[in-house]
Structure 1
Amino acid sequence: MSDVLKGADTSLLRDEIAAMENVRPIPRISVQAFCESEATAKAVQRAGEDRRMAKAHLRVHMGGIRAATEHYSSAPTPNLIILESRALPGDLVNELDTLAEVCDPGSKVVIVGHFNDVGLYRDLTRRGISEYLVAPVSMADVMSVIAGLFADPDAKPLGRIIAFVGAKGGVGASTLAHNVAWSISRLFSTDVLLADLDLPFGTANINFDQDPAQGIAEAVFSADRMDEVFLDRLLAKCADHLSLLAAPSMLDRTYDFAGDAFTALIETAQRTTPVVILDVPHVWNDWTRNVLAKADEVAIVASPDLANLRNAKNLVDTLRKGRPNDKPPHLILNQIQMPKRPEITATDFCDPLQLEPVGLVAFDPLTFGGAANNGRMIAEADPKHAAVEIFDQIAHVLTGRGEPRRAKRASGLDFLARLRRK
């Protein structure tokens, strides 16, 4: 029975995560909730921990409408008040009339009630209540209501933020980020912005044979000027649908950033571009943790050895804890089947992480090294190379575009399936 319940909980969580994918980030507002049940309090608290609520300030109290009335008799009301009440419809309206005497007229109010009553709903909306939800409510219900009240309904859809990070230095995370960015732009004919966040040692300009005069350094050090026009001036065109925000790759200064140093850049980029690829360096500090927390999708690139497994496990555990309402990170195993190197099998590497890899890329220094030296992507250097299909597979998964068409060559996922059968 416990396994059945656990499976049901996992399915419910998966449904909540799917429902949250189109929820826009919440602006800087204050939210206070007064709940009567632990279930509702937990749902609201989980919403407050979501990365899309990073700018908002939320507090959860117990006690329902009466506690709220007592609290606001001597305190200002926030932008949004969420109130749970088990009261009968007539008693609920009376309690709200008492609360209205101590509330500021500009505050929005959402009621979580326990009666599915159309007449009550109409009465509450006539009295200025913003929304009425019938308990039990989920975290996704709470987030959707807040977004509906405070997000601009006429705003354009936000671009998808995809962050690539290596479990260890030298595992090829940047190479994969660049090639997957190329695949997305080629497969879907959609605009892609590739941002190289490794300011001192970034390689995106080399891999794309670009030498822009400006790039990500100007974007970060002039964050107060950041807007769509300024960002567009900093981009280098790599292909019809692919633009690059290159790193200076110079050591003329140090790059010690605050935790929110890249926030303005990322928010501007996702307002202007359907897909934003972030090439995150293998360091761990406030700003890299913040960047990974803000991403819609995180791809961890690792090679099959013990140090990579340890680091990947730490990354996966940290991201799962910091992004409880998001899908787990994706895993890409790179440089596998290196001659004469002892390796952890793909199955043994993935099991402790509880992840299935979205791609398995074989070690091929001749092709990858030649492409890098010539400033070309693998698809340009050798369109029939097996890695190209794997990059396309990863592109489909990370953009949520569904599964690619089956090709004759075996993809990385097919390869893993064969490993499991042995």
Structure 2
Amino acid sequence: MNMSNLAYDSVSEDSETPQQDIAAMSALRPVPRISIQAFCETESIAGPIERAGEDRRMAKAHLKVHMGGVATAIEFYQSAPTPNLIILESRSEPKALLGSLRELSEVCDPTSKVVIIGHYNDVGLYRELIRAGISEYVVAPISMADIVSVISSIFVDPEADPIGRSIAFIGAKGGVGSSTIAHNVAWSMSNLFSSEVVVADLDLAFGTANINFDQDPAQGIAEAVFSPERIDEVYLDRLLAQCAERLSLLAAPSTLDRVYDFDPEAFSQIIDTAQRSAPVLVLDVPHVWSGWSKSTLMQADDIVITATPELANLRNAKNLIDTLQKLRPNDAPPKLVINQVGIAKRPEISAEDFAEPLGITPLAVIPFEPQLFGNAANNGRMLGEMDAKNPIVQIVNEMAHVLTGRSEIKAKKKIGLGGILGKLKPKKK
């Protein structure tokens, strides 16, 4: 147990609601690869700690929860090495708690940090714990967000360079325009806010970012993913193609001279490094469901799902949203873009009916305008470069504002579903 750590109070008067947890955690950085063991006396404390261990920001940490409190920890560490962090719940009165911590210090490694979750809001106890070198004292009840915040405050260097925000774009089906929207939103962010933006095209076989940005770089993301031992900020910078003054591209090779089968964490190091290089990282994720695409979506700060107003898109969007909300329970739900609305003579689901079963207000509803999009694609230009005053360009600009936190999605009135939900239900045999 480290007897010289600066300790400070982080008292949580009441458990936060889930929505407050999401807001509180949105700015937290990922916790590094550390080992954590918690010893709890009550389920009301063990539960939030276990949920914290499942959060994406804790993906690299290894957390184990034991029941039994300080006494169990003392017995446990008689024969086991201590982890990087020990979390202890104690309902003991202050004098007894301090005595048991002295016993614990005899079996703990001096480098292990300790967090106490107590049931006494006592200033005298807090001061004693500071003198004892406890890393932090939190008064119960606690929320899952409290736990992640405490761990982050201890192990994430506040002086470290800021980590950029990652935004993953994926289509509910192929051909819905997800890549086009991702590239145009990225361009708008760099242009509107004078902010450095990196676009990573993760569709190595069929990616279109190099065409859309009129680039033909000799190197790109393939060199990084196939040489993970070389990845650092200097190497990544050499692979970036400059598309605009503040917009860079990790281009896909878009060739079929090899197969692109990856491990689940294949892109993790590239993403981590790119986030240290720019305030915004736009991930153009292809319409596939694999270990690496699932991992990439789980780690992203924001997810944008693009769909067209058809039943198969609605089914796929619902499956994606439901799955991602289970995988990311402490994050805001994915954002929805309904694209290619108003194709002549095509039966369509209205935007309101499409959004209703998803429980999401669309980030944007984009009309079908093939001339604008076709001319931009054929000329390797962004929509804003082709016609800056076009209403669709204004929609893209609004999306850029929302995704960078400069504005919020405006709620729209919802209407009935009609027969949509019935069509989504499997038929009885």
Aligned counterparts, 1:153-164, within 5 A: 153-164=158-169
Count of aligned pairs between the two proteins: 403
Distance (Å, rounded) in 1 between the aligned partners of 2:128 and 2:75:
24
Kindly indicate whether residue 385 of structure 2 is the aligned counterpart of residue 376 of structure 1. no
1:13 is displaced (CA, Å) by 1.4
Distance (Å, rounded) in 1 between the aligned partners of 2:414 and 2:345:
22
Distance (Å, rounded) in 1 between the aligned partners of 2:176 and 2:401:
22
Q: Which amino acid aligns with 2:300?
A: A
Query: Contact 1:227–1:268 (CA<8 Å) still a contact in 2?
Result: yes
Q: Identify the match of residue 336 of structure 1 among 341, 351, 354.
A: 341
3-state SS of 2:175 partner: coil
Q: Which 5+ residue runs of structure 1 have no aligned equivalent?
A: 1-8, 405-412
Query: Contact 1:393–1:403 (CA<8 Å) still a contact in 2?
Result: no
Deviation readout 1:237-267 (Å, 9 max, x if unpaired)? 1111111111110001010000010011000
3-state SS of 1:154 partner: coil
Deviation readout 1:143-191 (Å, 9 max, x if unpaired)? 1111111111210111000000000000000000001001111111100
* Partner residue in 1 for 2:223: 218
3-state SS of 2:363 partner: strand
Q: 1 or 2, which has the higher helix percentage? A: 1
Q: Which amino acid aligns with 1:280?
A: V
* Partner residue in 1 for 2:59: 54
Kindly indicate whether residue 82 of structure 2 is the aligned counterpart of residue 69 of structure 1. no
Q: Identify the match of residue 346 of structure 1 among 343, 346, 351.
A: 351
Distance (Å, rounded) in 1 between the aligned partners of 2:27 and 2:234:
26
Kindly indicate whether residue 260 of structure 2 is the aligned counterpart of residue 255 of structure 1. yes
1:418 is displaced (CA, Å) by 9.8
Query: Contact 2:225–2:267 (CA<8 Å) still a contact in 1?
Result: yes
Deviation readout 1:111-153 (Å, 9 max, x if unpaired)? 0001111110110111111110000111111111111111112
Identical aligned residues as a percent: 64
Q: Identify the match of residue 286 of structure 2 among 267, 281, 296.
A: 281
Q: Which 5+ residue runs of structure 2 have no aligned equivalent?
A: 1-13, 417-429
Alpha carbons of structure 1 residues 29 and 418: separation in structure 2 relative to 1, 3 Å? closer
Q: Which amino acid aligns with 1:259?
A: P
1:419 is displaced (CA, Å) by 8.0
1:275 is displaced (CA, Å) by 0.1
Query: Contact 2:321–2:333 (CA<8 Å) still a contact in 1?
Result: yes
TM-score when normalising by structure 1 = 0.93
* Partner residue in 2 for 1:3: none
Distance (Å, rounded) in 2 between the aligned partners of 1:30 and 1:253:
39
Aligned counterparts, 1:172-321, within 5 A: 172-321=177-326
1:402 is displaced (CA, Å) by 2.0
Distance (Å, rounded) in 1 between the aligned partners of 2:40 and 2:98:
17
Query: Contact 1:191–1:241 (CA<8 Å) still a contact in 2?
Result: yes
1:417 is displaced (CA, Å) by 5.0
Deviation readout 1:311-350 (Å, 9 max, x if unpaired)? 0011001110001111110000000111111111111111
Q: Which amino acid aligns with 2:212?
A: N
Distance (Å, rounded) in 1 between the aligned partners of 2:206 and 2:227:
20
Q: Which amino acid aligns with 1:13?
A: P
Q: Identify the match of residue 171 of structure 1 among 167, 176, 186.
A: 176
Cα RMSD over matched residues?
1.7
Distance (Å, rounded) in 1 between the aligned partners of 2:413 and 2:358:
17
Q: Which is worse superposed, 67-76 or 164-173?
A: 67-76
1:38 is displaced (CA, Å) by 1.2
TM-score when normalising by structure 2 = 0.91
* Partner residue in 2 for 1:104: 109
Distance (Å, rounded) in 1 between the aligned partners of 2:16 and 2:209:
39
Distance (Å, rounded) in 2 between the aligned partners of 1:190 and 1:51:
26
Q: Which is worse superposed, 89-98 or 274-283?
A: 89-98
Distance (Å, rounded) in 2 between the aligned partners of 1:313 and 1:35:
38
Distance (Å, rounded) in 2 between the aligned partners of 1:74 and 1:24:
34
